[in-house]
Chain A
């Protein structure tokens, strides 16, 4: 019994020291080499598959997530030099984008430039796409075009694929 207690206490102590060391090492290596490459400002979440009535308009809610600390311009940015977020579906995919309804942007100002009000999306947002699909199974490669920034820097405009399996019944 005493032996088991000894083993238990030794394991706990070793674990505590090991975990602290590993955590510290991991944090310091991260702080010293923070790459500027941020390739995943926006991620498409879901749906991966939808069933819609063939030949009739159907509403599909597309969910996206913006990486923490970043924002993207809304569909209606506050200034004409800013790049709006837009969703599109290429022609010839068997699915037509009839219309897209975008959420209203959140008003945001940068600490260094409080006079300029920006209309942005942060966190998660949903685009309501109204689509018309022909009968059959269509693997649609929609496109989301956006431009992301944090408080001090901006990344170039980017287009990501929005892959949805649309089944027209």
Chain B
């Protein structure tokens, strides 16, 4: 792993947009292990890691692949991510995946899991259902059963059986990973000029491809490099929180555009798998129960998760306060049901709290940012001059 900042960022970018799965193929050749792809937002990577598998985030092809056959699978009012995942699959770019997990995000991803079963009947294709009832005796038991079934499926593929000892070790390494991610987020909150979001995004996106141990090294190298870089000086930018981009990811150009138009992104929903579980998971006791319990009671308040009407948006307001953001950018993918159905309730909460906001839509392959640039630029101006 390189320690030079520019080389490090170049490595991260190559990994982040490795649509040909070159890294995964090389890893499999080197280790003989199984690669398990997963869609956003969250899968329990600790479990896959404990069974010797490489969890690989499948975040779509962004603006790096022309969609030719993927469009035939979805209506025009469906988001872009599943089209590019289909395209990646049909062009053989995901053939190296021994299995694919489709976590419960929305109906579109559920349908994608069904399509995948038909497209690749010989491969493991599993819809990972997650509880919306957070009572340990109900949702907890259900989720544990899901994880046990997943674990058994992996064994059938050739993975090693799950042991408490291995799972504890995996939880421990992912706990360190959570701490490292939080450290970068805190550094960005305190000194956003040192950690541009366009860089942090690349570093985090590389982390859904790399094995966790290597990604820990990458994050440590990046943090050390930016802390030591004295050429990065503060600028007068508006501090904003970017929300809504938890599933389909915005193109890198959009993040750069927002920063160039005068915004410091001090918190976001990007690559949420790294931050889904909020704090360290205990390693004592039954580790599988601990994994389940963390999912039930210690996660981000995502739109894909059931939240009572009364508190919808409250967590977002709290995040604005915690990150000392001066405004909020609702930046959701076009046709993203979870993000856009929640937005009115979130807007009600942020307006009640007196937080300035604006909203716009994107697709992972959006190539023109002029309108967003104008909108974000004038929003930043209004915060700097009139808030």
Are the chains A and B members of one assembly? Answer: no
Seen from chain A, the residues whose Cβ lies within 8 Å of a Cβ on chain B are: none
